[in-house]
Amino acid sequence: MTAAVRLGVILLCHAELEVAARMARIWAEGGAHVVIHVDLNVPEARMSPMRTALADLDNVVYSRRHRCAWGRFSLVRATQDAAQHLLAAFPDTTHVYLASGACLPLRPVAELTAYLAADPQRDHIESVSAHEVGWTVGGLNEERFTLYYPLDWRRHRWLFDRFVEWQRRLNVRRRVPRGLSPHLGSQWWCLTTATLQSILNDPRRAEFDRYFRLSWIPDESYFQTLARRHSVTIESQSLTLAKFDHKGRPYQLYDDHIRMLEESRCFVARKAWPRAANLLSHFPLPAGAVPDPSPPQPARIERLINRTVRRRVLGRPGLYMQSRFPRKDAENGKTSAPYAVFQGFSDVFPDFEQWLSGRLSGDVHGHLLGPEQVEFAGRPQVGPGAISANPVLRDHDAQGFLTALIRITPRMQVFQFSPRDNQVLNWFIATDPNAHLLVITGAWMLPLLHSGMPFDDIRRVTAQLQRAELAQLEVLNSVWVKARVQIHDLSDFLARPLALLDEAVRQVQPTVDPIDALPRMRDLTGLDELLRKLRNAGLRPRLTGDGLRLPEQPDNERTAAE
């Protein structure tokens, strides 16, 4: 069966000739004809070790050398010449594989020929229509074909960009030669000799070459486009595993990829780090008695690479560290997990923290942003993640404090908040979709009620806290809010505390048991008297709600009702 397939390999080399010579030997000893193209930029002196290393192999030849520049037509020219040279020197060739000196054959060459023999008419070349957006990474797509590119991007980067801009402004649109539909794809392909011959001997080849000479990165489009014109059946997937990062640079392969490359069953991978000694000596895998023609399954390694691209581009949500410090609103997730902020509840119910921690499955803290201390659950001096309870440290980078706490703890974080606490995170929390914000406005007044402070002090503190809470409400009522916010004023809440408390707890954790009894409530006697006094002292209480109707001993009433 394999007798039907005679593989020829074009090896494009421009650096690391030592590795390239090794690869040529692998191909040649596997029974393939090899033609090597070495970039003319490499001095002749550096080629002689390669020539001597491969001198004993009679199926290795060298094609005419061209000076190649990345992204230019010279690469296509080199490939064309090498292909012609190969077909002339070894007329029995049935398939031609284009590889580079850094492409590492993973499986024995015999398995590749067996795979090709299963359907010998098929061309393996990735070829995606240029009109479908999305094949290219970090570069031009359709404009590769509609603008002129006479300049070398590497050497005249600034001029190149200006020239592209200028053409865009002038609405320059090159006409694609009639009968061609621009296609893009990986530059590494495997074509049948028939297809390759008809591409090389196309009567209109001069016209096509002229067109592609001024298009951008023709090595990713010349054969990909012309194969569509001449091929009978195209398998639009490259047999070479070559992944690019978000900037279009190829990934390197190292010793620790050996296992995964083995599992991928790919025939050829690109590109191996030249000093990855274990990797280079491990592959190609030794040939079995019967060549295994199973197709490649690169899904797993592609997933790994896509995951790292995602990590590079999007990062892990809620992480702030030495190499990820997103500017405001570019965070891709301000925090890493949902959390809840209860404001005013601990003023209405003095034991609210203990009561809540018995019900929710998360960590219930006190006032994490409180002025005297970071009130971690249980009040340790060092909280989760070894975060200090020192408020000066916390306020130095409050956002870092909160995000680190949420990221380091496996459970949901719940904490108390009030206008007495540090207010710097108001915008951050309000614009964070992970936040649940449950607010009773004006509740901060209740601890003042029986504080025993002189009335003048109460009036002053009230003014301060009211100002702080009004500023916060301005944030919470803005159009930028992303958090789930529930706001009640104190009189609303006191009118039906059980229902609203149940609703609040349920919003944070829907699976929680229904609440049938209120926790101990603060004594409210004298509240309307205090409010009246404040009003008469020239301070209008604006957050407690209007017409405060105080339930008589609400705690007892509820329990009695049941």
Partner 1 sequence: MMRLSNIPLPERLRRRAERQWLIGRAANRRRALRSVIDRTGQILPDDILTFVTQRNERIRLPYFLDYYREMGVRHFLFVDNASDDGSTDYLREQPDVSLWWTDASYKRARFGMDWINWLLLRYGRHHWCLTVDPDEFLIYPHCDSRPLPALTDWLDASGRRSFPAMLLDMYPRGGIEDEPYAEGQDPFQIARWFDPANYSISKNQYFGNLWIQGGPRTRAFFTYDPLTGPALNKIPLVRWNWRYAYVSSTHMLLPRSLNEVYDEDGGEMASGCLLHAKFLSTFAEKSTEELDRRQHYANSKEYRAYHAGLQTGTRLWCSESREYQGWRQLEDLGLISRGNWA
CB–CB of 379/366 below 8 Å? Answer: yes
Give the nearest distance from C-beta 317 to partner 1 in angstroms.
9
Return the ∠ at Cα 78 (arms to 270 and 208), rounded to 5°: 110
Q: Which is nearer to partner 1, 132 or 397 (CB)?
A: 397
The stretch near partner 1 (CB under 8 A) out of 11-19, 42-50, 192-200, 315-323 is 315-323
3-state secondary structure string across 20-61: HHHHHHHHHHCCCEEEEEECCCCCHHHHHHHHHHCCCCCCEE
DSSP assignment, residue 218? G
Interaction of residue 311 with partner 1, rule CB under 8 A: yes
Phi-psi domain of 376 (left: phi exceeds 0; alpha: psi -120 through 50; beta: other): beta
Q: Which is nearer to partner 1, 218 or 383 (CB)?
A: 383
Task: Give the one residue of 23, 234, 241, 319 binding partner 1; rule: CB under 8 A.
Answer: 319
Q: What residues pair up with 241 in beta bridges, in sequence order?
A: 269
* Residues 6+ away with beta carbon under 8 Å from 173: 146
Q: For residues 349 and 521, what is the distance between their CA atoms, to the nearest angstrom?
A: 5
Q: For residues 266 and 170, what is the distance between their CA atoms, to the nearest angstrom?
A: 46
Q: Which is nearer to partner 1, 294 or 390 (CB)?
A: 390
| ω into 243 cis (within 30 of 0) | no
Token digits of residue 11: 């090896």
Residue 483: phi, psi to the nearest 5? -75, 160
Give 42's Cβ-side CA count (13 Å radius): 18
Q: Which is nearer to partner 1, 321 or 424 (CB)?
A: 321
Task: Give the one residue of 41, 52, 361, 390 binding partner 1; rule: CB under 8 A.
Answer: 390
Q: Would you give the end-to-end CA distance of the chain in angstroms?
A: 87
Nearest to 117 by CA among 268, 242, 291: 291
Q: Indicate the SS3 state at residue 82.
A: helix
Q: Which is nearer to partner 1, 388 or 559 (CB)?
A: 388
Q: Which is nearer to partner 1, 163 or 320 (CB)?
A: 320
Q: Which is nearer to partner 1, 157 or 460 (CB)?
A: 157
Interaction of residue 323 with partner 1, rule CB under 8 A: yes
Q: For residues 524 and 164, what is the distance between their CA atoms, to the nearest angstrom?
A: 74
The stretch near partner 1 (CB under 8 A) out of 183-191, 305-313, 444-452, 498-506 is 305-313
Interaction of residue 304 with partner 1, rule CB under 8 A: yes
* Site for partner 1, residues 330 to 389, rule: CB under 8 A: 330-332, 382-388
* Angstrom distances, CA of residue 478 to CA of 144, 426, 471, 472: 45, 12, 11, 10
Give the nearest distance from C-beta 396 to partner 1 in angstroms.
5
Using CB under 8 A as the binding criterion, the count of chain residues that bind partner 1 stands at: 52
The stretch near partner 1 (CB under 8 A) out of 197-205, 242-250, 356-364, 545-553 is 242-250
* Site for partner 1, residues 443 to 472, rule: CB under 8 A: none
The stretch near partner 1 (CB under 8 A) out of 355-363, 405-413, 483-491, 505-513 is 405-413
Interaction of residue 439 with partner 1, rule CB under 8 A: no
CB–CB of 426/437 below 8 Å? Answer: no
From residue 249 to residue 268, what is the string marking binding to partner 1 with x (rule CB under 8 A)? x-xx-xxx------------
Task: Give the one residue of 31, 120, 139, 400 binding partner 1; rule: CB under 8 A.
Answer: 400
Interaction of residue 327 with partner 1, rule CB under 8 A: yes
Q: Which is nearer to partner 1, 305 or 539 (CB)?
A: 305
Q: Which is nearer to partner 1, 152 or 555 (CB)?
A: 152
Q: For residues 248 and 429, what is the distance between their CA atoms, to the nearest angstrom?
A: 37
Interaction of residue 554 with partner 1, rule CB under 8 A: no
Interaction of residue 404 with partner 1, rule CB under 8 A: yes
Q: Which is nearer to partner 1, 115 or 428 (CB)?
A: 428
Q: Which is nearer to partner 1, 230 or 271 (CB)?
A: 271
The stretch near partner 1 (CB under 8 A) out of 71-79, 324-332, 424-432, 505-513 is 324-332
Q: What residues pair up with 35 in beta bridges, in sequence order?
A: 10, 61
Where on the chain is the footprint of partner 1 (CB under 8 A)? 245-247, 249, 251-252, 254-256, 273, 275-276, 304-305, 308-309, 311-316, 319-327, 330-332, 382-388, 390, 392-393, 396-397, 400-401, 404-405, 407-408
